[in-house]
Amino acid sequence: MKNIYLVKYGEIAIKGKNRYLFEDALLSNIRNSIKKLGKFHIKKEQGRILIEPEDKDVDKDEVIEQLKKVFGIVAICPGIKNEEISMDSIKETALYYMKNICQKNQYTFKVETRRSDKRFPLNSMEISRDVGAYLLKNMNGQLSVDVHSPQIRLNIELRNSVYVYSMVIPGPGGMPVGTNGKAMLLLSGGIDSPVAGWMIAKRGVEIGAVYFESPPYTSERAKQKVVDLARTIATYTGKMKLFVVPFTKIQMEIYEKCPHDQLTIIMRRMMMKIAERLAKEENALGLITGESIGQVASQTIQSLAVTNAAVELPVFRPLIGFDKEEIVQIAKKINTYEISILPYEDCCTIFVPKHPETKPKLEYILQSEKSLDNMESLLEEAIANKEIIMIE
């Protein structure tokens, strides 16, 4: 008998002819997420993924913690496997498993059986009934049956082997990263953008990230914070490229030449333009921001429209209809919150106007941008001076 993990996946099972692509991506993402914990056999097994540790002393809790971060996984079921298929071996496996999980207490239980091999002489109901009776007889009076809300739901799956498990640990859902193309996240040190990136990655999109820094107004610590946020996102997505782009000269130029109530919106447009060029170099098909309607002046519906007009690529704003509290809840769940609230300066707060425009009109903004005759070369220079950090 061997310890195993059965992995259940949902949405990706229904993708018709593309199904194997999704399964292969999930398999490879699972492999990457647990490889540092030991050696594993990982394979597809009729609508499930089966993980078998090769070493006996692999840390089970660690494996589960890692799997809980792999998008595409609906549930993780740690259990045991017996390669021999017979009624005797099923009973023996079930008893072995129950003895392991039941301490010296009383439990209510129920047996549920699924069999993909219909040639087996007994049907699912009969197997459950027989195994139930066998356990009642052999567990020294520890068990009683409760078919409605049992404390232990003992699952038996008959496939190429016998599998027994009772715990069904929820996975993150979503789709395997890498199955839905790539997008470029504008990642600041705030609460919102890491959540936005996580949400798009959850839908199977590979993520690259760009951070605009404004030295000497922003510090090395502020940058480190963004690196830490990227690392946290990467615990879900696997490795990721982070571009750090120097933005000070561009901000100074805008500050000198444009009306101050338009600073934020013009700065935002320049960020989008640079992010779009990086996205194209990286074959990314969209941009991601953490904006939500009305949160601040630069996120009114008018401002968002003017920001969008700076680029051709679609801009994904998964938080668009979220309240701050809802965003904070996700940030806490995905472990970015504690990093995001560290009080380091942000490039946008340094050049904030006293009275930012809340209803900008594109034609006036374009008019103001005409005075930025030097901007194209500043954009090019910023991109040329970018730093690339590989986040693992």
CB nearer to ligand ATP: give 150 or 286: 286
Q: Which residue type, as a one-letter code, is found at position 298?
A: S
Does residue number 293 form part of the binding site for ligand ATP (CB under 6 A)? Answer: no
Q: Give the nearest distance from C-beta 188 to ligand ATP in angstroms.
A: 3
Nearest by Cα to 169 from 8, 335, 331: 8
Q: Give the nearest distance from C-beta 348 to ligand ATP in angstroms.
A: 5
Which residue is it, tokens 């030097």? 374
- Residue number of the CB closest to ligand ATP reads 190
Q: Give the nearest distance from C-beta 210 to ligand ATP in angstroms.
A: 6
Partner interacting with residue 186 (select from Mg ion, ligand ATP, none; CB below 5-8 Å by kind): ligand ATP
Partner interacting with residue 369 (select from ligand ATP, Mg ion, none; CB below 5-8 Å by kind): none
Residue 52's DSSP bridge partners are 41
CB nearer to ligand ATP: give 161 or 248: 248
Partner interacting with residue 272 (select from Mg ion, ligand ATP, none; CB below 5-8 Å by kind): none
Sign (positive or negative) of CA dihedral 202, 204, 205, 211: positive
Cβ atoms within 10 Å, residue 102: 18
Question: Contact with ligand ATP (CB under 6 A): which of 64, 74, 95, 296?
Answer: 296
Torsion from C-alpha of 169, 71, 234, 278, nearest 10 degrees? -170
Site for Mg ion in 182-201 (CB under 5 A): 188, 190
Residue 162's DSSP bridge partners are 82, 158
Is residue 67 exposed (0-12), middle (13-18) or buried (19+ Cβ within 10 Å)? buried
Site for ligand ATP in 232-291 (CB under 6 A): 271, 289-291
b/e map 11-26, b = 16+ CB within 10 Å: ebeeeeeeeeebbebb
b/e map 218-228, b = 16+ CB within 10 Å: beeebbebbbb
Q: Give the nearest distance from C-beta 33 to Mg ion in angstroms.
A: 30
For Mg ion (CB under 5 A), the number of binding residues is 2
Question: Contact with ligand ATP (CB under 6 A): which of 76, 187, 258, 274?
Answer: 187
Question: Mapped to the 3 state alphabet, what secondary structure does 29-73 carry?
Answer: HHHHHHHHHCCEEEEEECCEEEEEECCCCCCHHHHHHHHCCCCCE
Question: Contact with ligand ATP (CB under 6 A): which of 23, 192, 253, 357?
Answer: 192
Q: Give the nearest distance from C-beta 343 to ligand ATP in angstroms.
A: 13
CB nearer to ligand ATP: give 81 or 269: 269
Task: Annotate each residue in 325-364 with x if it binds ligand ATP (CB under 6 A) or - if it does not, as one string.
Answer: ----------------------xx----------------
Does residue number 201 form part of the binding site for ligand ATP (CB under 6 A)? Answer: no
CB nearer to ligand ATP: give 85 or 285: 285
Round to whole Å and give the CA distance between 40 and 52.
5
Question: Contact with ligand ATP (CB under 6 A): which of 298, 300, 303, 336?
Answer: 298
Round to whole Å and give the CA distance between 43 and 29.
12
Question: Contact with ligand ATP (CB under 6 A): which of 5, 22, 212, 243?
Answer: 212
Using DSSP's 3-state secondary structure scheme, residue 305 falls into helix
CB nearer to ligand ATP: give 291 or 369: 291
Does residue number 295 form part of the binding site for ligand ATP (CB under 6 A)? Answer: yes
Residue 288's DSSP bridge partners are 185, 316
Sign (positive or negative) of CA dihedral 55, 162, 16, 71: negative
Sites of contact with ligand ATP (CB under 6 A): 186-188, 190-193, 210-212, 271, 289-291, 295-296, 298, 347-348
